[in-house]
Structure 1
Amino acid sequence: MAQAKKSKRLTSLCRGIAWSAGLLVVLAGQQMKAETLADALVGAYKTSGLLEQNRALLRAADEDVAAAVAALRPILSYSADLTRDFGDRRSLTTTGSSTLSELESTTGTIGLAASLLLYDGGATSLGVDAAKETVLGTRQQLISLEQSVLLRAVSAYLNVVAAREFVSLRQNNLRLLTQELRAAQDRFEVGEVTRTDVAQAEASLAEARSGLATAQGDLLQAVEEYRNVVGNTPGQLSPPPSLPRLESNVENARARAIQSHPDLRAAQHFVAVAELNILRAKAALNPTVSAVGSLGVSEDFGNSDYTRSGSVGIELSGPIYRGGALSSGIRSAMASRDSQRGNLIEVRKQVSQDVGNAYASLAAQRASLQASEERIRAARIAFEGVREEATLGARTTLDVLDAEQELLDAETSRISAQANLYVAAYAVLQATGRLTARDLSLGVQQYDPSAYYDLVKDAPVPSSAQGQRLNRVLRALQKD
C-alpha cells in the first residue's frame, strides 16, 4: 500500500514536472515569436513603397548617364520606302493630233545613314559628367529617405508598446476604482461615509472608463500606423533594446554630421551639376564637327533601271545668331548654380541645427524620465498613506481618489517619457546621418545603388551579354 502511494506521488510529481516543462516550452516559443525593434525596422525597409519609388527614380537617373554616353557613339539609322506612281499623260504630236498614255511605276528605296560626333567643344562629355553627379546626388537623397522611413518605424514600434501599456494601466486603474466604489458603498451602508463620497467614486469610475476607451482607440490607431509602416499587424512586441550608442559630445556629432550627412552630400553633388551645366551652356557656342556617311539603293520594278549611291563626309556646323538664346542659357545656368550654392548653405545650417535640436530633445527626455520616476515614487507613497488614513477616518473618499489619479498620471507620464526617449535617441542618429540599414547592421539584404548603375553606365544594347543580364534584372524588379 505504501509502495502504491509512493508510486502515485512519483507519477504526480512527474506529471507536474512535465507540465512545468511544457509551460516553459510554450513561454519560450512565445518569447521567440515576439517581434523586436530590429524586426520592425527590417519590415519597414523591405516593404516601404516610398523606398521603392525613389529606387526607381535612381534607376532613371542611372539611365540618364547611359543616354549621355550614347551621344558620344556612332549613330546608325535606316530608311526604306516603296512608292507606286500612277496617272495619265496627254501629249500633242507635230501633226496636231494627241496621244494618251498611262503613267505607272513602282520604285523601292533603301538607305543607311551614319554619323559620329567628333567635336562639340566638350558639351556632350560635360553632359555625361553632369549625369553622373546627378546619380551621386540622387543616391544620397535615397539614403536620407531611408533614414526617415526607419525613424518612422521606430516611432510606430514604440507607439504600439506605449499604447498597450496605457491600456493595461487604464484597465488596472478601472479595476481599482471599481473596488473603491464597492468599498465606498459598503461604508455608506454602515454610515461611515455620505452619499457624496459614493457619488465621487462613481464619477471617478466613469472617468476611468472614458480614459480606457480613449487608450484603446489610441492603440488601434498605433496598430494601423505600425501596419502601414512595417507591413504587418504587430504581434507580441519585445521591450525596446538598450539605447543606441551616440556621440557624447554634441559638437563632435555636429562635425561628423557636416562631413557625412546625406542631405549635405546631395546638395554638394547638385552644386557640381550646376557648375557643369554652366560649362555645357558655354560649350554650345563652339562649332560641332561630325563624320557622316550614307548608302542608298533605289530600283524601279517596272524596268531594269536602278541606282546605287554612297557618300562619306565631314560636317561642320555652329551658331551665328540665335536671338540671344545661347547667352540666356548661360545666364540661366549661372543663376541655377547660385541657387544650388545657396541651398548648400541652408542645408549645412539645417543639418547643424538638427543635431543640436536632437541632442537637446534627448537631454530633455532623459530628464523627463528621471522626474517621472521620482514622481511615481512620491505619488505611490502618498496614495498608500492617504488610503490608510482613510480607513481610520482621517481622509475622505475624494482624497483617496485624488491620490490615485496622481499616481495614474505619474505612471502615464513615465510610459510616454520612455517611448519619447527612444525616439529622441534614434532621431539623433538620423540627425547625424547614421540611421541606415548599414549603420544599424540590420539583418536584411540591403539595396545596392551601384548594381544597376554598373549595368547601364556603358549603355548596353539588348543583344549584348550585359544587355541580357540587364533584362534579367528588370524582370526580377517587375516581379518584386
Structure 2
Amino acid sequence: MGIKRAVLTAVVALSTSGFMAQAETLADAMAGAYGHSGLIDQNRALLRAADEDVAQATAALRPILNWTAGVANNFTIDPSNSSTTSANVGLDLSWVLIDNGSRKLNKARLEQTVLATRQGLVSVEQRVLLSAVQAFMNVRRDARIVSLRQNNLRVITRELRAAEDRFEVGEVTRTDVALAQARLAGARAELAVAQGNLMASQASYEAAVGRKPHALSQPTRLPRAARSLDAAQAIAVRTHPDMIAAQFRVAAADIGANAADTALRPDVNLNVGLTQSHTFDTDANSLGGRVSITTGGPIYQGGRIASLSRQAIARRDAEKASLHATRHNIRLAVGNAWSQLLAARAQREASRRQIEAAQVAFDGVREEASLGSRTTLDVLNAEQELLDAKANEITAQSAEFTAAYSLLSSMGLLTVDNLNLAVEKYDPEAYYNQVKNAPAMKSKQGQQLDKILRRIENQ
C-alpha cells in the first residue's frame, strides 16, 4: 500500500498544477539537464585541455630560458690532499631558429583539433537535451497510463458489482461473475506494472534533469524542423556537429601529413649560456659565457622517419573515410527519425479514431447488456478495446514529441542556442582566447586564467 500511495501522490502532482509548485515545461526540463549534466562538464574540461595543447605549441615557438646553480668540491688523493670548493650560478637560453615550419604546422594541426573538440561538446549537449526530452515525455506518458489504469479499475469494479447483482436475481450465471473477477485481477496487475514503469521513469528523469518531476505540463506544439526528408538531410549534412567535427579532423590529419614531411630537413638552433662562479678557497670570482649556433638533421634512423610519414598519410586517409561514413550515418539517422515521426503521427491519428469508435461501441454494448441482449464478457471486451485505444493514443503522443526532437537532434539543431533556452550559455572561445598566446603564470593574463579556473571549480 505504501508504494501504491506514493505513486498515486506522484500522479496527482504530475497531472495538476499544485499550489506549492508551478507547472514544469519541457524547456524547463532541458534547461535543468543542461546545467546538471556532468557529461557536459567533463567535455568542457576536455576542450580546455585541447586549448592548452595550442598554448604549448605556441610556447614551443619561443626561446627557452633555464637557470642552474650548484656547489662543487674538487679534491685529489695524493700526498698533498688538496681540495677546492666552488659555487656557480648560470643562465641557459636555447631557441630553435629554423625548423622548416614543423612547429607551426603542429600548432595549426592542434588548432583544428580544438575546433573538432568544440563540435564534440555540441554533440554531447544534444545527447543531454534529448535525454531530458525522453525522460520528460516518458514520465508524462506513464503518469497518464497509471491514471487510465486506475480509472479502468474503477470501471471494472462497477461491472463486477453489476454482475453480482444480476447473478443474485438470476439474470446471469456464475461464469459471468467469474469473468468479471478475472478481469478485475488482471486490471490490478496492469496497474501495478504501470505504477512500476512510472517510478522507473521518475528515477530516469531525476538522473537526467537533476531534480524530481513536479506537475509536468503537456508541450503545446512540436518543434519546427524541415518540410521534407531531403531538406532535413541536407540541413544535417551542413550543420550536424559530428559532420563538422569530422571535417576539422580531416584538416588536422592533412596538416599532420605535411608536418611529417619536414622531419628530414635540417634545423638551426641558437644556444646562449652565462655562468657566474666563486671559488671559496681563493675568494676568486669569474664570469663566463658561450654563444653557439648549430645546425643538423637526420641521415639514417633505421626507417623510422619514413614510417612516421606513411603513418601520418594513413591517418589522413582514415579520417577522410570517417568523414564519408559520418555523412552516411547522419543521413541514415535523419531518415530513421523522420520515419519514426511519421509513424507516431499516423498512430496518434489512428488511435484517436479508434477511441471514438470504441467509445460508441462500449456505450452501446453496455446499454444492450442492461437490457439482457449482451453478456458480461461482451461488456468487458468492449471496455478493454476502449482502454487499449486510449493507451495507444497516450503512447503515440509521447512518441511523436520524442521523435520530433530526435529529428531535430539528427539534424544538429537540438542545441541551447537554437532552442533559445533560458540558461547560462558556455562560451568555448573565452578560455581559448585567454590561453592561445601561452601567457606566463605570473602575468596579468595568467592571473585572469587563475580566476576563470577557480570560478569553474566552484560551479
TM-score computed with the length of structure 2 as normaliser = 0.94
**Inter-partner Cα distance in structure 2 for 1:72 and 1:65:** 11
Aligned to 1:375: 354
**Inter-partner Cα distance in structure 1 for 2:161 and 2:352:** 31
Counterpart of 1:89 (choices 61, 74, 77) is: 77
User: What amino acid does structure 2 have at the position aligned with 1:342?
Assistant: A
**Inter-partner Cα distance in structure 2 for 1:42 and 1:163:** 22
1:128-147 equivalence runs, <5 A: 128-147=107-126
**Inter-partner Cα distance in structure 2 for 1:106 and 1:474:** 47
User: What amino acid does structure 1 have at the position aligned with 2:25?
Assistant: T
Aligned to 1:211: 190
**Inter-partner Cα distance in structure 1 for 2:88 and 2:187:** 90
RMSD over equivalenced CA pairs, Å: 1.4
**Inter-partner Cα distance in structure 1 for 2:30 and 2:349:** 28
1:183-220, CA deviations, whole angstroms, 9 ceiling, x for partnerless residues? 11111111111111111111111111111110110000
Give the length in aligned residue pairs: 444
User: What amino acid does structure 2 have at the position aligned with 1:114?
Assistant: L
1:395-445, CA deviations, whole angstroms, 9 ceiling, x for partnerless residues? 111111111111111100000000000001111111111100000000111
Aligned to 1:317: 296
Aligned to 1:72: 61
Aligned to 2:411: 432
User: Structure 1 pair 162/187, CA: closer, same or farther in 2 (3 Å)?
Assistant: same
Aligned to 1:45: 34
**Inter-partner Cα distance in structure 2 for 1:285 and 1:138:** 31
**Inter-partner Cα distance in structure 1 for 2:138 and 2:52:** 41
User: Structure 1 pair 29/387, CA: closer, same or farther in 2 (3 Å)?
Assistant: closer
User: What amino acid does structure 2 have at the position aligned with 1:304?
Assistant: D
Aligned to 2:8: none
User: Structure 1 pair 29/393, CA: closer, same or farther in 2 (3 Å)?
Assistant: closer
User: What amino acid does structure 2 have at the position aligned with 1:168?
Assistant: S
Residue 21 of structure 2 contacts residue 214 of structure 2 at CA under 8 Å; is this kept in 1? no
User: Structure 1 pair 256/31, CA: closer, same or farther in 2 (3 Å)?
Assistant: farther
Residue 37 of structure 1 contacts residue 241 of structure 1 at CA under 8 Å; is this kept in 2? no
Structure 1 gaps of 5+ residues are 1-26, 92-100
Residue 274 of structure 1 contacts residue 333 of structure 1 at CA under 8 Å; is this kept in 2? yes
1:138-194, CA deviations, whole angstroms, 9 ceiling, x for partnerless residues? 111111111111111000000000110011001000111111111111111111111
Counterpart of 1:365 (choices 341, 344, 352) is: 344
Identity %: 50
Deviation of 1:84 (Å): 3.9
Deviation of 1:298 (Å): 2.0
Aligned to 2:51: 62
The DSSP-based 3-state class of the residue aligned with 1:284 is helix
User: Structure 1 pair 218/453, CA: closer, same or farther in 2 (3 Å)?
Assistant: same
User: What amino acid does structure 2 have at the position aligned with 1:389?
Assistant: E
**Inter-partner Cα distance in structure 1 for 2:39 and 2:146:** 32
1:26-48, CA deviations, whole angstroms, 9 ceiling, x for partnerless residues? x9874971111010000000010
1:248-290, CA deviations, whole angstroms, 9 ceiling, x for partnerless residues? 1221221111111111100000001110111111111111112
**Inter-partner Cα distance in structure 2 for 1:419 and 1:264:** 29
**Inter-partner Cα distance in structure 2 for 1:313 and 1:427:** 64
1:271-286 equivalence runs, <5 A: 271-286=250-265
User: What amino acid does structure 1 have at the position aligned with 2:372?
Assistant: G
Counterpart of 2:393 (choices 414, 435, 449) is: 414
2:437 equivalent to 1:449: no
Residue 137 of structure 1 contacts residue 266 of structure 1 at CA under 8 Å; is this kept in 2? yes
**Inter-partner Cα distance in structure 1 for 2:272 and 2:81:** 38
Aligned to 2:437: 458
Aligned to 1:296: 275
Residue 268 of structure 1 contacts residue 344 of structure 1 at CA under 8 Å; is this kept in 2? yes
Aligned to 1:14: none
1:337-388, CA deviations, whole angstroms, 9 ceiling, x for partnerless residues? 1100000000011111112221111111110100000111111111111111
Deviation of 1:302 (Å): 2.2
Deviation of 1:106 (Å): 2.5
Aligned to 2:234: 255
The DSSP-based 3-state class of the residue aligned with 1:111 is strand
TM-score computed with the length of structure 1 as normaliser = 0.90
Residue 295 of structure 1 contacts residue 311 of structure 1 at CA under 8 Å; is this kept in 2? yes
User: Structure 1 pair 31/407, CA: closer, same or farther in 2 (3 Å)?
Assistant: farther
Aligned to 1:332: 311
The DSSP-based 3-state class of the residue aligned with 1:33 is coil
Max radius of gyration: which structure? Answer: 1
